Amino acid sequence: MAVYTDVSDAELSAFVDRYDIGRLQSAKGIAEGVENSNFLLQTDRAFFILTLYEKRVNEADLPFFIGLMEHLSARGITCPQPVHDREGNTLQRLAGRPAAMVTFLSGMSVNRPGVGHCAELGKALAQFHAAGADFELRRANALSLDGWRPLIEQSRERADSVSPGLASRIADDFARLEQAWPHDLPSGVIHADLFPNNVFFLGDRLSGLIDFYFACNDALAYDLAICLNAWCFETDGSFNITKGRAMIGAYEAVRPLTPAEVEALPVLARGAGLRFLLTRLVDWLNVPPGALVKPLDPLEYDRKLGFHRHAATAADYGRA
Amino acid sequence: MAVYTDVSDAELSAFVDRYDIGRLQSAKGIAEGVENSNFLLQTDRAFFILTLYEKRVNEADLPFFIGLMEHLSARGITCPQPVHDREGNTLQRLAGRPAAMVTFLSGMSVNRPGVGHCAELGKALAQFHAAGADFELRRANALSLDGWRPLIEQSRERADSVSPGLASRIADDFARLEQAWPHDLPSGVIHADLFPNNVFFLGDRLSGLIDFYFACNDALAYDLAICLNAWCFETDGSFNITKGRAMIGAYEAVRPLTPAEVEALPVLARGAGLRFLLTRLVDWLNVPPGALVKPLDPLEYDRKLGFHRHAATAADYGRA
């Protein structure tokens, strides 16, 4: 949540002139995401977001991310649309960094999603999966089962300093997931980070999806499992089955789950919970001294895993 | 350059509903200024800037700052215009902080002002001084002569670690200024921080002034002296007399300087140079470990003072 790279207004004006989008009239560094530098640009025609990709983004992945936004936009998914410069390029360099300009999307994120928001999200997720089906680039999910092991190793010794018994709960979760993880579910492009802060609403209607920088190829139902974790729990850690039912129902109205996906849902949901517990835990244990950004609480996901550990079937998540 | 206070979209939406400005459609934390938290808000009617005042702003000064912007807007100065809520208030509270909503101003700041920009600035500064003449609130300049002494004391011991001999150059400047500082020049509301980053242009035309949080009552010509420091030096520390001539000439086309102001100009320019040297030096010597924001170079002003120390008359600054 910061602007990491300073770019002068003169540099930004010259950069905008590479595009046929009008003259730059205003530029503001914005606090969007924690990974990259973002500027909100106003020209005499419209607003745009310019992203400068900082170190944590692998430059080799950018054609996937930018290509995906373009692919999805062309198929009617409301997401930031990469803008082509006068020579047709979407991926640029500015201030020594890879950069891309995308259209500005109106909308507000909800911090306490209601049942209606969960239904809107379920529908949009299924539409996203359908629209991504013919996207030709591929990117492996670095944060699936195999990616959790190094995170477990990095956090094992100090995990119990965050919560007594946490290291052994993580070890048990991982052992169970390693054994039960499904490997042949319908797969495709997933968003993999579709938390409420990455989804815009105008009034009660979903108006757009943003932040595709964890997108990858993986089981489609795993994306739904991530959303169940991110949207359907109450702040006290309890799972709201009405929200789960709304989300899964709206998803299946567009793309019905296969029997194998239905059966795998509790394992996928537990895996998604462990994935966010682990990345948050590693961040929590490695806050640099004097950091301005407070890391997200890993124990929120320890509590959610308390539910997943006892869920037996998809019905426990509200699947009819 | 950061957003210090996090406010959820739901809180922002509820806040916007206090005003008759449409429904909130987008909210972005922006990196504007280093003192406060700022959000760029889009409603279905227009864009606005919401400022939350952080600790470094004295709450008792807010009626002066907000009242001044309103006063100036009403007199045709293009600056952020405070928006009244449905009950007529401009000063609010949000997330435990004083807050105010102002109109959004298009424009780009220039980081290398040319002669034309200096002329535009001179004219706008004189118009600002004229428009402020009947503003009824008062605020003392905490960073005039008397305010420099504590800064000198805070930095004296370590000043030479930044540049050999700096402590004694500062002592000499201050001794000379204490003796020569004028106390009966025409005074009124001055901006006191009208650096290029606080001035917007659209093309070659000045389109607005922002950031009134150093504004105060002081000698009007001191404001011009600040602008000569901030706009008319080249990066090598040399004074560009063509820019000075353009700025002073455009200023005097609106508000001619009195003979006393003309005579005082070299002293005022030297004082303005010392003022920015001192605040930058204190910031430089007190960077918190791990700080993300790099402080501004104090020695830029030591070099500018090298010019002021040898300037004899206003003609040295380009005054005809």
Which residues of chain A form CATH 3.30.200.20?
A: 9-103
Pick the CATH number of A115-317 from 3.20.20.60, 3.40.50.720, 3.40.1080.10, 3.90.1200.10: 3.90.1200.10
| Residue B204: closest C-alpha in chain A | A25
Give the pLDDT score at A2: 53
| Tens place of pLDDT per residue across chain A (320 aa) | 456 778 988 899 999 999 999 999 999 999 876 678 999 999 999 999 999 998 888 999 999 999 999 999 999 999 999 999 999 999 999 999 999 999 999 999 998 999 999 999 999 999 999 999 999 999 999 999 999 999 999 999 999 999 999 999 999 999 999 999 999 999 999 999 999 999 999 989 999 999 999 999 999 999 999 999 999 999 999 999 999 999 999 999 999 999 999 999 999 999 999 999 999 999 999 987 766 667 889 999 999 999 999 999 999 999 98
A108 touches chain B (CB under 8 A): yes
Q: Which amino acid is at B144?
A: S
Give the pLDDT score at A1: 40
Q: Do A31 and B110 touch (CB under 8 A)?
A: no
Give the pLDDT score at A294: 74
Helix (H) or strand (E) holding A52: strand A47-52
Fold of A9-103: Phosphorylase Kinase; domain 1 (3.30.200)
Q: Which amino acid is at A193?
A: D
Best A9, A110, A206 member to test B by mutation, with max B CBs in 10 Å, is: A9
Q: Which residues of B touch A9 (CB under 8 A)?
A: 108-111
CA distances from A122 to A82, A247, A317, B180, B233 (A): 25, 4, 13, 73, 59
| Residue B44: closest C-alpha in chain A | A106
Give the pLDDT score at B23: 94
B30 touches chain A (CB under 8 A): yes
- Is residue B265 within 8 A of residue B222, CB to CB? The reply is no
Give the pLDDT score at B3: 60
Nearest CB among B10, B31, B106 relative to A42 is that of B106
Give the pLDDT score at B1: 40
Give the pLDDT score at B291: 65
Which residues of chain B form CATH 3.90.1200.10?
A: 115-317
Q: Which long-range contacts (CB under 8 A, 24 or more apart) does A65-68 make?
A: A65/A212, A65/A213, A65/A215, A66/A90, A66/A91, A66/A100, A67/A135, A67/A137, A68/A132, A68/A135, A68/A137, A68/A189, A68/A212, A68/A215
Buried b / exposed e along A250-263 (16+ C-beta atoms within 10 A):
bbbeebebeeebbe
The pLDDT tens digits for B182-197 are 999 999 999 999 999 9
B204 touches chain A (CB under 8 A): no
ipTM of the complex: 0.82
Give the pLDDT score at A287: 84
User: In chain B, pLDDT over 70 holds for what percent of residues?
Assistant: 97
Size of the A and B interface in Cβ pairs below 8 Å? 93
Give the residues of chain B that fall short of pLDDT 50. 1
A27 touches chain B (CB under 8 A): yes
Best A26, A105, A293 member to test B by mutation, with max B CBs in 10 Å, is: A26
Give the pLDDT score at B6: 81
| End-to-end Cα spacing for chain A | 40
B3 touches chain A (CB under 8 A): yes
The pLDDT tens digits for B193-251 are 999 999 999 989 999 999 999 999 999 999 999 999 999 999 999 999 999 999 999 99
Q: Which amino acid is at A226?
A: I
Q: Do B3 and A8 touch (CB under 8 A)?
A: no
B33 touches chain A (CB under 8 A): no
Nearest CB among B31, B111, B200 relative to A29 is that of B31
Query: What does the block give as tokens for A154?
Result: 């990095």
What gap in Å lies between CA A56 and CA B106, rounded to an integer?
Answer: 32
DSSP H helical ranges for chain A:
9-16, 62-74, 115-131, 145-162, 166-180, 220-231, 241-254, 259-285, 299-308
